[in-house]
A and B are shown apart, each in its own frame.
Chain A
Amino acid sequence: MFKEFAKGLSITFKHLLPGHSTTVQYPTVKLKPSDRFRGLHRLVPSQDREKCVACYLCPTVCPAKCITVESAENEKGEKYPKVYTIDMLRCIFCGYCVEACPVEAIEMTGAYELANYEREDFQFTKERLLK
């Protein structure tokens, strides 16, 4: 019986040795999330504008109703989002917006550091999302 105890405890103690810790020293060390991680959104730019065509599918599908889009016509007569805002305080990171997008204009990045001091800073406007 002692043998089993020793075996078990040796595993436990092994983790106490330097180099065997699972804890990461955040924020000095940062983990890289997997490619499928659903973090902060990003609007994909095309050559001279955003790829988004303001089709309103993402605000329609969004279960948290956190996306605000206002479409308009640009000088070339194309449809574009005059306003595109995501309220990160409401977002539940379900990724439906990415799934619904017919033109692959929105994607989710690995950015997960979304803390802020002001409520307004959680309003991610088009310009911020395009960065």
Chain B
Amino acid sequence: MVNLTIDGKQVTVSKAATIYEAAKEAGVHIPVLCYAKKLLPYGACRVCLVEVEQMKGRLIPSCTTPVSEGMVVITTSDEIKKVRKTVMEFLLVNHVLDCPVCDKGGECDLQDLTYELGATSNRFEGEKFDLPTDEVNPLIERNMNRCVLCGKCVRVCDEIVGYGSYSFINRGFETKIATAYDRGLDCEFCGQCLSMCPVGALLPRPFKFKARPWQLKEVDSVCGYCGNGCTVTLGVKDHKVETIRFNDKIGVNDGNLCVRGRFGYSYVNHEDRLTKPLVRKNGELVEADWDEALQAVADGLSKAQQGQGVGILSGARLTNEELYLLKQVAKVVGTENLDHSGGECYKGVTEGLKGALGVAASTATFPQIEKTNVILAIRSDFYETHPVVGMVVNQAIRRNGAKLAIVADKKGKLDKLPGAKTLLSKPGLELDVLNAMARLLLDEGLAQTEGIEGLEDLKTALADFEPSQVAERTGVDLETLQATARQLAGAENSAILMAYGLPYQGLNKELATAAANLALLVGIPGREGSGLYLCGEKSNSQGAIDLGILPQNAGKGAQQMLDAAAEGKLDGLYVVAEDPLSSYPDRDKVAKAFDKVPFLVVQDLFLSPTAEQADVVLPAASFAEKDGTFTNAERRIQRVRPGIPSPGEARTDGAIFSALANKLGSTVTFTGPAAIFAEIGKDTKAYAEFNFNEIGPQGVVWGGEVLQPVCKKVVAVSGGSSVKGDFQLVTGSALYHSGTVSTKAKGPMAVLSEPYLELSREDAKALSVVDGDLVKVAGNGTELKLKVKVGNRLPKGVVFAPYHFAEANVNRLYKGEPVIAVTVSK
């Protein structure tokens, strides 16, 4: 700690602090323009200049100068005021003053500073900039006439996002921010630059001219897409979510968001939202009132339960409280057939991790990744499924020199990060690579074996995974494999990352087990600063596991329910917040199940393909309309707050469950989410220590920052198998989408509006196809037509199709296997 005096106040701050940070702590205001909390010190704008007694004669930039013992700082004097005012005059000489039409007006740092520093007139004259605006892309408008060259966009894109789409170009007075070759912006559109821009140079296009900042009501909530659980602040005007506000002051993940979180909100305003319950009469879905619809559901479910039984399929987009109520509904109905997210994709957590570590969750929190030395990402799609954790990985690499290795069948964003090593294996064989690493650790005596059970079994099972053989079999570079394993073993702190979700069902449990084995052998679980992360695809995937939305006792899982339904052995299905026809593997089976099942209830936001098959459709509410909690992939329980009322008569899932339970004869009622949350603690012990109303902006993490494993048991897993065929198809997530809901959101659709088949340049050349050509993809007895997208990500012979688009029918091909043999022809 260092003691210093700022404007006569004694301050004690940490040695690493800058003068600005120390002043902030002391409550002394220093104006800044180019400073940003989450970026490295920059010191370019010169607004934050202060006087330091020990460095007389010149003014010191407070945002870059570290504090030292006994410093005496003066933050305001006539000279300082004059210099700051002059800086404003400099900036305003050429800055266009179009505040009335600039959407930043009202929350613009330049406006605020001009006002604060009293720069009401300008002594200098100069021509105003007249540069063309960049409106090539659909999401981010760049108006460089308003730019003050603080460099925040350049820095955030490099330091945090790791994309590097901006740079300064030219010199002197002509300096400006531009993209490569000064063309239109074409990036991953995470919009981090928008959130950093202090002026109106970068603005969100979907929000253009929609409202002035002061008209917006700000509601802090949690993003409804992936399991990252980023804090989003809804900007609400006239009961409509107009934009996602920029907020890095509170919340998790530093206010970082991805394209989905920042621009994917618009589905909540979509005109196709269901507003009234629908009941099938004479083969037609017709509008009904709630009472009628709920009565129909209650009657239908009761009848089915008396017959061959009811199955409940839930999505992981519901709040914990709603999931709890859903469980109550299942109880009242009397069914044990309860499951979520297709039933298979989360088994890595519930069976893999549970088996090895005795816990069914990631063992550490995301901020710890930044401090690790070695990171192993399993499946390159990790950045595509969880972009904001990808940003943390980027910071770990750039700021702390962490080493990143990726075991995957294709390349992705993570592979582009500095120094990233890719262990590119043949599809379906990533598992072998992990096993080979475990084998190497054991063979070379690098493994931490103390207190670990099941070592002998593992050793026996790893007989076939001699690294050099595995390298040959999987196509992975042997030296990289060895180096990665050794690095992991030698690292002080390390992280293993893996994502799970509907398109990643194949070998999920086995991969998670192998990852857990590896983690145990290098001592990750339970170690402070290290972590094994299994991150769910949906916003409350972890909550669904914690709450036990799983087959109860002898109940059927999702796939068994669908099988049973398809065979005519299930009489009712209740599908909540899920569109199995579009997103579950093996569409034909799902279709048959829905066709055969006598009574189908669908509760969703839209009339999805699944809902169209239903006997009763109940209109539900989106995340922006709900009160409750989500648990993200790092076990962080966060508050979801309602920003807008639901459209029409749509109700929150919780309200529907309550009403339905009452219809079915339950007498239990709750006063609100707080009461339910308290109730959850009775079943789910980890939640018992928290009070709903005391969950702050940072949320609360159950099990602590580092979750101690219950047991340490390595479990033998066999290897994967590759398929033979002209082409090998893998499915997964595209960066711009999450699940199927994002296909109703304007932002993600503006960037990626169509399904596609991605293939390598070599394959495209061999097939003589270019971007946009239609090709036939045949396999698993089906043939699809998809548009070609040529990219650098894939090795020769591997093709990729994202699963988000219902109309693409990718799940006719994909039946849950890790890789599918297909033929591709023109």
Please give the residue numbers on chain A whose beta carbons come within 8 Å of chain B beta carbons, in ascending order: 53-57, 60, 71-73, 77-79, 102-103
Please report the total number of B residues contacting A with Cβ < 8 Å: 12
A-B contacts, 8 listed (Cβ < 8 Å)? A53-B100, A55-B99, A55-B212, A60-B215, A71-B210, A73-B208, A77-B135, A78-B101
CB-defined contacts of B211 to chain A, threshold 8 Å: 56
**A102 contacts B209, CB within 8 Å?**
no
User: Per DSSP, are chain B's interface residues mostly helix, strand or loop, or mixed?
Assistant: loop
CB-defined contacts of B135 to chain A, threshold 8 Å: 77
The reply to whether the CB of B105 lies closer than 8 angstroms to some CB of chain A is: yes
Task: For the complex, give the distance between the alpha carbons of A78 and B210 in Å.
Answer: 13
User: Per DSSP, are chain A's interface residues mostly helix, strand or loop, or mixed?
Assistant: loop
The reply to whether the CB of B214 lies closer than 8 angstroms to some CB of chain A is: yes
CB-defined contacts of B208 to chain A, threshold 8 Å: 73
CB-defined contacts of B212 to chain A, threshold 8 Å: 55-56, 60
Task: For the complex, give the distance between the alpha carbons of A79 and B215 in Å.
Answer: 17
CB-defined contacts of B215 to chain A, threshold 8 Å: 56, 60
Please give the residue numbers on chain B whose beta carbons come within 8 Å of chain A beta carbons, in ascending order: 99-101, 105, 135, 208-212, 214-215
Task: For the complex, give the distance between the alpha carbons of A77 and B135 in Å.
Answer: 10
Residue in chain B with minimal CB distance to A103: B100
CB A79 to nearest CB in B, in angstroms, measures: 4
- Pick the residue among A54, A60, A103 that contacts B209 (CB under 8 A): A54
CB A28 to nearest CB in B, in angstroms, measures: 44
CB B190 to nearest CB in A, in angstroms, measures: 24
**B101 contacts A60, CB within 8 Å?**
no
The answer to whether A102 and B100 touch (CB under 8 A), given A54-B209, A71-B209, A79-B209, is yes
**B209 contacts A55, CB within 8 Å?**
no
Task: For the complex, give the distance between the alpha carbons of A57 and B211 in Å.
Answer: 11
**B101 contacts A53, CB within 8 Å?**
yes
CB A113 to nearest CB in B, in angstroms, measures: 32
CB-defined contacts of A79 to chain B, threshold 8 Å: 100-101, 209
CB-defined contacts of A72 to chain B, threshold 8 Å: 209
The answer to whether A55 and B214 touch (CB under 8 A), given A73-B209, A79-B209, is no
In the A-B complex, the 7 residue pairs with the closest CB atoms? A55-B100, A79-B101, A56-B212, A71-B209, A102-B100, A53-B100, A79-B209
CB B462 to nearest CB in A, in angstroms, measures: 63
- Pick the residue among A55, A73, A78, A103 that contacts B105 (CB under 8 A): A55
Task: For the complex, give the distance between the alpha carbons of A60 and B215 in Å.
Answer: 9
Residue in chain A with minimal CB distance to B97: A102
Task: For the complex, give the distance between the alpha carbons of A79 and B209 in Å.
Answer: 7
Task: For the complex, give the distance between the alpha carbons of A79 and B105 in Å.
Answer: 13
Residue in chain B with minimal CB distance to A60: B214
Task: For the complex, give the distance between the alpha carbons of A60 and B100 in Å.
Answer: 13
CB-defined contacts of B210 to chain A, threshold 8 Å: 71
Residue in chain A with minimal CB distance to B141: A77
CB A22 to nearest CB in B, in angstroms, measures: 45
CB B446 to nearest CB in A, in angstroms, measures: 62
CB-defined contacts of A73 to chain B, threshold 8 Å: 208-209
Inter-chain pairs besides A56-B212, A77-B135, A79-B209, 19 sampled, C-beta below 8 Å: A53-B100, A54-B101, A55-B99, A55-B100, A55-B212, A56-B211, A56-B215, A57-B100, A60-B212, A71-B209, A71-B210, A72-B209, A73-B209, A78-B101, A79-B100, A79-B101, A102-B99, A102-B100, A103-B100
